[in-house]
Amino acid sequence: NCVMASTPEANVGSSITKKQAHKSSVRNFMDDDILKEQFTRNVQFFGEESQQKIADAFVIVVGLGGVGSHAAHLLLRSGVGKLRLIDFDQVTLSSLNRHAVAVRSDVGLSKATCLERHFKEILPESDIEAVVEMFHSGNVDQLLSGAPTFVLDAIDNIDTKVSLVAECVSRNIPVLSVAGAGAKADPTRLKIVDLSETSMDPLARALRQRIRKSHQISAGVPVLLSTEKPRCPLADLEGLVDSLDSVQQQIGSNLATNPLDFQIVPNFRVRTIPVL
């Protein structure tokens, strides 16, 4: 019989996770040898005092898709002490091309829970709060509670986006709103502008117009947007309707032909789900 002896290197990851994660936190990283080493490059770049400010920060990320998941991921690796991750939606097959950490086995899992699981593998000492809810007026006090240092708005629905930004402004919570990124690929065209200067991006322009009309907010909110034109058009919904009408005539079935019938939530984007 042959017994394979495990090497110290093979066990170091599990040993760190079990022993260190229970007694340490990101906020006291300078007192923990493992965390101190994990953040050594961060400290070299930011400096110890600035890195401690990052570790003491509490950031809320609302919307965990192609933009929000990457932002949250890098906030974690930067050493933010506490993250609250908010999204009601689930990981889909079609989102795997742009999601920060999701893998195929995560399909069907809530985006917030997915990030929490992977983040705990990256940084077991992190303080992660996954919230599987849609942001709305009824839960705003809960979702923005705890005196957050900063809020990142990565929502792609205009109604919810306006509500979140307005609530942050009224509560004096610093917020960065992110505009549309679909079908864009040139990072050199990214820029942060004031809300009053958001004429070049459709989502940002809608935010400016709606929040000014409903909340009298016309400036003072930073917005991250791309000046690049989309590289491909949106799906042809009129063509989809024509195709459904044709199929309906052939099989005599009452198929839904209004694109709005395919929305998972009113006023949110229409998306297609492949049948496996």
- 55: which 2 tokens? 């570790």
**Global confidence as pTM:** 0.81
- 37: which 2 tokens? 């080493």
CA angle 34, 37, 42 (to 5 degrees): 130
pLDDT at 230: 81
pLDDT at 70: 97
Q: How far apart are CA 159 and CA 26, in angstroms?
A: 35
Phi, psi for 267 (deg, rounded to 5): 75, 10
Q: How far apart are CA 49 and CA 56, in angstroms?
A: 11
pLDDT along the chain (276 residues), means of 10: 43 48 81 96 97 98 96 98 97 94 96 98 97 94 97 95 97 96 85 90 92 96 91 63 57 56 57 44
Closest CA relative to residue 164, chosen from 65, 267, 62: 62
What torsion do the CA atoms of 47, 49, 54, 58 make, to the nearest 10 degrees? 180
Helix (H, G, I), strand (E, B), or coil: what is residue 123?
A: coil
pLDDT at 270: 53
Residues in the chain: 276
